[in-house]
Amino acid sequence: MSSAVARACANVALAKYWGKRDEALNLPCTGSISITLSGLNTTASVSFRRGLERDRSVLNGAPAAAKEGYRIERFLDLVRERAQESRPAEVELRTDFPVAAGLASSASTFAALALAASHAAGLSLSERELSILARRGSGSAARSIFAGYAEWFPGESADGSDSYAKQLAPPGHWPLGVVIAITDSGPKTVGSREGMSRVVKDSPFFSAWVASHAADLDAIRRGILERDIRLTGQTAERNCLAMHAVSLAARPPLLYWNPVTVAVMQRVAQLREDGLEAYFTIDAGPQVKVICPTAERTELASALAAVPGVRVLVSEPGPAAELIER
Ligand code: PMV
């Protein structure tokens, strides 16, 4: 038996990945920049062994549903092919943040799985190779390999060999506060794969989104490197609103917000008028992630927890994906 256990954190993008140039390889139309989120972990344990008829996956104690199981099996196939490993695997995934609450766990899952499965199969991959492998499971997972702040390059080649993420800055460079406002605990309506496919094919604003994204990406990179909360925050908000605008204009439209999502956005704007440096971003779901200077994080968390219908989680730039056991 060959096994390994690894852990990785979720991440939140400040400059979003929203639209693929290749759906099979998860190659993006744009670059993206994210914060790896401490305390939002997935632990993956992978054992390749004889005697199993096929791969077996358990997610948070329950056998994986057909769709999730299939996605994990196809991902393991990539590792098996590369390592010339023919045995099926037993996979156990444990996510310690509310998956049912619609907080995307695919980034932490596939980053942890890439590390655990490659080690279990006897591969020793560089960070770049790991990022490329994680990307095949879920695009945003390419960034969860790294601690702190990460940038994922879209690349140009058809095989995706130049589309990987890299650390932009370590967690200690800028210990920002990240407050996550959970506004709904139901599963999301349209997943990111379907959402992206729809905006690329059928949103009249898609080319405008791609064209405006480049300047946002540069501003956010500079904002992080210079620890400029206003530049980073204002640009991240604008980028998020553009992502949602392009989605609203798709056919059929994608509306990811609920009334509480909007209430949180308005509360953040009001807090800013009162002098708090807080800025929101929203992914393909109704939850709102709000960044602020670390000293203001407790005040921000209690202000958002007071919005009716909101539950908060508090995070900060977190660690890289790591091997726990071999
Ligand atoms: O990695 P995916 O396929 O779950 O896509 C993530 C898409 C967003 O979360 C909306 C944006 C991003 O850059 O993470």
Mapped to the 3 state alphabet, what secondary structure does 35-94 carry? EEEEEEEEEEEEEECCCCCCCEEEECCEECCHHHHHHHHHHHHHHHHHHCCCCCEEEEEE
**Which atom of ligand 1 is found nearest the CA of 193?**
3
The DSSP element (H or E) to which 28 belongs, if any, is strand 27-28
**Which atom of ligand 1 is found nearest the CA of 11?**
14
Query: CB of 104 closer than 6 A to ligand 1?
Result: yes
Residue nearest to atom 10 of ligand 1 (CA): 283
Residue nearest to atom 6 of ligand 1 (CA): 140
Query: CB of 30 closer than 6 A to ligand 1?
Result: no
**Which atom of ligand 1 is found nearest the CA of 107?**
1
Question: Shortest CA distance to 144 belongs to which of 326, 289, 5, 7?
Answer: 7
Within the chain, which residues score under 50 in pLDDT?
none
Q: Could you tell me the pTM of the whole model?
A: 0.97
User: How confident is the model at residue 223, as a pLDDT?
Assistant: 98
Q: Could you tell me the distance, in angstroms and rounded to a whole number, from the CA of residue 192 to the centre of ligand 1?
A: 6
Query: CB of 13 closer than 6 A to ligand 1?
Result: yes
**Tokens of residue 130, six digits:** 């790991």
CA–CA separation, 119 vs 111, rounded Å? 13
**Tokens of residue 264, six digits:** 């949180």
pLDDT digits (tens, 9 = 90+) for 10-61: 999 999 999 999 999 999 999 999 999 999 999 999 999 999 999 999 999 9
User: How confident is the model at residue 101, as a pLDDT?
Assistant: 54
Helices vs. strands in the chain: H and E counts, helices first: 8, 14
User: How confident is the model at residue 102, as a pLDDT?
Assistant: 57
CA–CA separation, 35 vs 10, rounded Å? 9
User: How confident is the model at residue 324, as a pLDDT?
Assistant: 95
CA–CA separation, 84 vs 87, rounded Å? 9
The answer for residues whose C-beta is within 8 angstroms of residue 14's C-beta and 6 or more apart is: 33, 34, 35, 220, 224, 232, 235, 236, 239, 281, 291
User: How confident is the model at residue 177, as a pLDDT?
Assistant: 98
The best mutation among 17, 99, 103 to test binding of ligand 1, ranked by most ligand atoms within 8 Å of the C-beta, falls on 17
Distance in angstroms between the alpha carbons of the first and the last residue of the chain: 11
Per-residue DSSP letters for 263-285? HHHHHHHHHHHTT---EEE--SS
Task: Report the SS3 class of residue 32.
Answer: strand
The best mutation among 30, 192, 240 to test binding of ligand 1, ranked by most ligand atoms within 8 Å of the C-beta, falls on 192
Query: CB of 105 closer than 6 A to ligand 1?
Result: no
Query: CB of 109 closer than 6 A to ligand 1?
Result: no
DSSP code for 188: P
DSSP code for 140: G
Task: Report the SS3 class of residue 198.
Answer: helix
**Tokens of residue 146, six digits:** 């790294």
**Which atom of ligand 1 is found nearest the CA of 16?**
13
Question: Shortest CA distance to 36 belongs to which of 126, 180, 145?
Answer: 145
Query: CB of 190 closer than 6 A to ligand 1?
Result: no
